[in-house]
Amino acid sequence: MYRTLAQLVRDGLVEIVGVEPGGGPDRKRYAITQDGVTDLDRWLAEPEDPQPQLQTVLFTKVMLALTSGRSAESFLDAQRERHMAAMRTLTLARREAPSSQDSLLADYQLFHIEADLRWIDHAAARLAALADETGDEL
């Protein structure tokens, strides 16, 4: 964690806003900088390329968007579009697959994307409840 904080300070994304004495080393308080806010907004707005086991990143982005007052709904809409585009590409590849092995690989990828899409729809339907729990807006 300290390494990550040091990198964020180095990159100008967070800054030290206070130092308080503690039982051990002094405790530093950090705050996000304007560059950090810009970077966070860019990262949250950028859909991830569909891939197996992506759920953790999708979940993290939804929760960060909600807790930081940004639109989780916009993120989920953009992510759904990215997944649908990938499905169209894979469906075409599966139809034109030169071998059963290639077709099976496309099916594997499609099934994972379908699972992500089900989760995206499920999360979108629960945004109001999630926002109530986190005390933030959609």
Which residues sit opposite 30 in a β-bridge?
16
Q: Return the pLDDT at 52.
A: 60
Q: Which residues contact 136 (CB under 8 A, 6 or more apart)?
A: 66, 67, 68, 69
The residue ranges of every structural domain in the chain are 1-38, 46-134
Q: Return the pLDDT at 107.
A: 95
Q: Return the pLDDT at 81.
A: 96
Q: Where are the alpha helices (DSSP H) in the chain?
A: 2-10, 34-45, 55-67, 72-95, 100-125, 127-134
Q: Return the pLDDT at 136.
A: 55
Distances in Å between the alpha carbon of 122 and those of 49, 61, 71, 135? 19, 15, 16, 20
Residue 52 CA to chain centroid, in angstroms? 14
CA distance 85 to 80: 9
Kindly give the parts of the chain with pLDDT less than 70. Answer: 51-55, 135-138
Q: Return the pLDDT at 138.
A: 47
State pTM to two decimals.
0.65
